[in-house]
């Protein structure tokens, strides 16, 4: 059973999808319930049931992170992704709070120095933003690059980390 909770945060409405073993997806307000349900059916073979049984801890950690009271998230997760994308996101989790890296630097971190576009794809398909801090990945020239939740949210997160650092 996949439990879902939707809540207001400093960056907008977020949704957490979780199973008993851990959180499987964190979504921003720009992703519809229909799209979240379709994702769950594709990756887990079941739909979403409203409820907070498996989401309370994650929700509290996320709200504390977004208010600058926490520097990392460590709730249980179930990471549904390809091996390469998992490697990329795990490497990004090692980027210190308040710092950034380029897509090219992350490609080098996973020992695939020419795969910087694939790093971008891994970030675009990150089911657990904030837990895997893909907002810390920027273009080599220092510009922000894309972010699934919008560049304004990416800038907010980077500013939050810079002032809490």
Residue 155 CA to residue 86 CA, distance in Å, equals 24
Q: Which residue out of 110, 134, 137, 157 is catalytically annotated?
A: 134
Residue 134 designated active-site: yes
Contact 40, 46 (CB under 8 A): yes
Q: Token digits for 32?
A: 């519809």
**Distance from chain centroid for Cα 127:** 6
Q: How many CB atoms lie within 10 A of CB 29?
A: 16
- Indicate which residues carry an active-site annotation: 134
């Amino acid at each position: 059973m996949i439990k879902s909770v939707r809540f207001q945060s400093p960056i907008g409405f977020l949704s957490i999808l979780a199973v008993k073993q851990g959180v499987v997806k964190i979504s921003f307000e720009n992703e519809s319930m229909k799209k979240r349900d379709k994702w769950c059916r594709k990756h887990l073979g079941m739909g979403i049931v409203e409820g907070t049984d498996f989401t309370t801890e994650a929700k509290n950690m996320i709200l504390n992170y977004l208010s600058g009271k926490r520097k990392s998230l460590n709730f249980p997760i179930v990471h549904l992704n390809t091996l390469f994308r998992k490697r990329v996101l795990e490497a990004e989790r090692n980027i210190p709070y308040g710092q950034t890296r380029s897509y090219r630097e992350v490609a080098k971190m996973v020992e695939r120095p020419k795969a910087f576009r694939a790093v971008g794809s891994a970030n675009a398909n990150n089911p657990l933003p904030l837990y895997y801090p893909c907002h810390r990945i920027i273009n080599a020239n220092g510009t922000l690059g894309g972010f699934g939740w919008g560049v304004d949210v990416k800038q907010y997160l980077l500013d939050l980390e810079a002032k809490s650092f």
